[in-house]
Amino acid sequence: MKINHIGVIAGVPSALSDIDKKRGHESKVIQTYPHPFKFNRDEFFLIDGFNFHSAVNSCRYLCECTKADRIHIHEKAPLKGIEILIFKLLGKEVIFHYHGTDIRGKRQPFLHKLADKKIRIYSRSDEICGCSLGSKSSKR
Q: Residues 82-108: what's their mean pLDDT?
A: 79
Distance CA 113, CA 136 (A): 6
Distance CA 79, CA 71 (A): 14
**pTM of the prediction?**
0.76
Handedness of CA 59, 54, 14, 101 (dihedral sign): negative
Q: Residues 106-113: what's their mean pLDDT?
A: 67
137 has pLDDT over 70: no
Q: Which of 24-38, 80-94, 125-139 has the lowest mean pLDDT?
A: 125-139
The pLDDT tens digits of the residues spanning 40-90 come to: 888 888 887 777 778 888 999 999 999 999 999 887 778 878 888 899 999
